Amino acid sequence: MSVLRILAASVAISLALIPAQAADETALRALVQQQLQRCWNLPPGFEGQRISIDLTLLGDGSLDAPPSVALESKKSATRLEPLTQSVIRAVQRCAPFTGFDALGADPAERFAIKVHFAG
């Protein structure tokens, strides 16, 4: 089995804090990336493919909304349906994410995160 990874550079988990920036952005990115790497399994035949998912999380690590395919990935989402579903399952398996409180996130804070997955 090949090594699975979430793009480290592109895990450009793009992070936008809404409205405050109490928690450290870099640490939150690393925390989410690390947890998602443990939860994701790349489906066979999708090596080299990419998909991006938008997440909205609360400061307690729970999902504030269901994960959704990011706009830039919508065109290929149908073609990459097994990859898309594997990513959504990974998010659902990992949620709630842990450790946000240790980074200073208030449970009521909201975080919009874009995660890029690649096989």
Per-residue pLDDT reduced to its tens digit, 58-97: 999 999 999 998 878 887 877 889 999 999 999 999 999 9
Instruction: Give the three-class secondary structure for 3.
Output: coil
Domain count, the chain: 1
Question: pLDDT value at position 16?
Answer: 47
Nearest to 118 by CA among 47, 34, 39: 47
We report the CATH number of the domain holding residue 29 as 3.30.1150
106 falls within a domain? yes
Q: Please state the pTM of the whole predicted model.
A: 0.76
**Domain of 18?**
14-118
Q: Give the least confident one: 32-46, 83-97, 100-114.
A: 100-114
38 falls within a domain? yes
53 touches 103 (CB < 8 A): no
Tens digits of residue pLDDT in 77-88: 778 899 999 999
25 falls within a domain? yes
4 falls within a domain? no
Dihedral, CA of residue 39, residue 64, residue 8 and residue 3, to nearest 10 = 10
Listed in sequence order, the residues at least 6 apart from 20 whose beta carbon sits closer than 8 Å to its beta carbon are 106, 109
8 falls within a domain? no
Question: pLDDT value at position 25?
Answer: 67
87 falls within a domain? yes
Question: pLDDT value at position 96?
Answer: 96
21 falls within a domain? yes
pLDDT band at 23 (very low <50, low <70, confident <90, very high): low
